[in-house]
Amino acid sequence: MANSRLSNIQRIQRTLQCVPRGKVASYGQIADLAGLPGRARLVGKVLRESPADLHLPWHRILRASGQLAFDAHSTQADRQAELLAMEQVEVIQNRVDLKQHAWQPSLADILFRLEQ
């Protein structure tokens, strides 16, 4: 495979960069797409520890239910809602409507983007 030598952390970072503006994905979905099924928690760790200059779209990552991963009204949740609002994604009651904004990439889309 073309990306076989990437570390798990790099795979996750690259997958995160594939999430387009105005769309959201869950931690588990990112893990799956990165070829690391079952490692949703690792995605959270990567988002928490990655340097800011990688410009990862952390605000587009939510729990599988559509809930933000932070407590409602926390500084982080407010910031996340603000960033999402700028992309026309509305957060209501600390949650995003997945039916409306879930990122559903085609396999071809993912393969293409990961080759970049």
User: In this structure, what DSSP letter does residue 69 have?
Assistant: S
**Smallest separation, CB 110 to DNA (Å):** 17
Nearer to DNA, 65 or 100 (CB): 65
Q: From the list 64, 72, 86, 111, which residue makes contact with DNA (rule: CB under 7 A)?
A: 64
**Residue 100 in the binding site for DNA (CB under 7 A):** no
Of the chain, the end-to-end C-alpha distance in Å amounts to 14
Determine if 23 is a binding residue for DNA (CB under 7 A).
no
Considering only the stretches 58-66, 84-92, 104-112, report the one whose residues sit in contact with DNA under the rule CB under 7 A: 58-66
Q: Check residue 70 for interaction with DNA (CB under 7 A).
A: yes
Among 6, 9, 98, 102, binds DNA (CB under 7 A): 9
CB 73 within 8 A of CB 39: no
**Torsion over CA: 76, 64, 101, 72 (sign):** negative
Q: Contact between 43 and DNA (CB under 7 A)?
A: yes
Q: 64, 74, 10, 68: which is closest to 36 by C-alpha?
A: 10
**Residue 26 backbone phi and psi in degrees, to 5:** -95, 165
Torsion of CA 14, 15, 17, 21, to 10 degrees: 170
Q: Which of 6, 69, 102, 110 binds DNA (CB under 7 A)?
A: 69
Q: Is 47 in the site for DNA (CB under 7 A)?
A: yes
